[in-house]
Structures are given as C-alpha cells and as structure tokens.
Copies of this chain bind each other. A is one copy, B any other.
C-alpha cells in the first residue's frame, strides 16, 4: 500500500487539560468523562498512556476557551478519585499530517518528528489514527511547524 500524504492541518482552537496521578483501576476514566459530558464540554483528543506504580495521567484537548471550565468541574473528581491535580493549559495548537496508508509506513512519523526537531520545535503530546499523525505543540510554533512540514513532505501548493 503506497503512502499518500494529503496535507498538513493546523488547529489553533485548542487548549489542554491534564489530570495527573489518577489511579489505574476500572471506573476512573468513566468518572472523568461523565463529568465533562455533564458539563457539555466538547472534547477533541484524549490521551492516556500506561501507568507506572499504579498511577497515570489523563489528558484531553478542548476548544481554546474551555480548558478553565473543564478543570473547574473536575476539581471535585480529583478529590473523589484520589488524583494529584488537574491543570489547564492554553497557548497550544494541534498539528497533523493527514494521509492514507500511514499505518504501514513508520517512516512518515519519523519524518514528521525529525522535521519538527530540525526546526527546534518540542512535541508536547502525540496522538495518531489511521489517517492522521497529530502532535500538540506551542501555539507560537504552529505556523513555523506547518511550513517546515509542508516543505519536508513536498506539499507546497496544496
């Protein structure tokens, strides 16, 4: 299957919320997202990695003005589930390389990350799907990053 990179997408309407130190046991993620759903907050990306010593972090992104509200409604949940803290961060953007056939081409992710590194841009979070590799970066880096990725993948003109 050939890789076809369709383009680069930049989403500046992003802010992130991280609940740090959640216990890794059934029911925790359910409480977090039930609280967010009840507050009618739309979620974009959700990221949870493996736990260490029984604890992990859950992060998710929301619209750029929603993170404060999300963190506020989660305060009581942080207490209930025995998590460490919840933090809201603005000033971020989501940068995605969009294409088909990426799953069978690990070189695409490597090239994207190498391009960001060569441009001096730090990757805050990574999330992938069959058709997209997305990273969370600083909002201030978004334009520079998109241009560098465009050039690296020969997308100019798209």
How many angstroms between the C-alpha atoms of A40 and B41 in the bound complex? Answer: 40
How many angstroms between the C-alpha atoms of A31 and B26 in the bound complex? Answer: 34
B37 contacts A110, C-beta separation under 8 Å: yes
Known: A37-B110, A49-B18. A126 touches B58 (CB 8 A): yes
- Look across to chain B and name the residue whose beta carbon is closest to the beta carbon of A116: B26
How many angstroms between the C-alpha atoms of A71 and B46 in the bound complex? Answer: 25
Is A150 at the interface (CB under 8 A from chain B)? no
Minimum CB–CB distance for A79 against chain B, Å = 19
Is A123 at the interface (CB under 8 A from chain B)? yes
Residues facing B in A1-47 (CB within 8 A) are 16, 18, 20, 24-30, 32-34, 36-37, 40-47
How many angstroms between the C-alpha atoms of A114 and B128 in the bound complex? Answer: 24
By a CB distance below 8 angstroms, the chain B residues around A114 are: 30, 34
How many angstroms between the C-alpha atoms of A126 and B18 in the bound complex? Answer: 14
How many angstroms between the C-alpha atoms of A40 and B110 in the bound complex? Answer: 12
Is A75 at the interface (CB under 8 A from chain B)? no
Is A91 at the interface (CB under 8 A from chain B)? no
A106 contacts B37, C-beta separation under 8 Å: yes
A109 contacts B24, C-beta separation under 8 Å: no
Most chain B CB inside 10 Å of its own CB: which residue of A43, A45, A120: A43
Minimum CB–CB distance for A78 against chain B, Å = 16
How many angstroms between the C-alpha atoms of A20 and B105 in the bound complex? Answer: 24
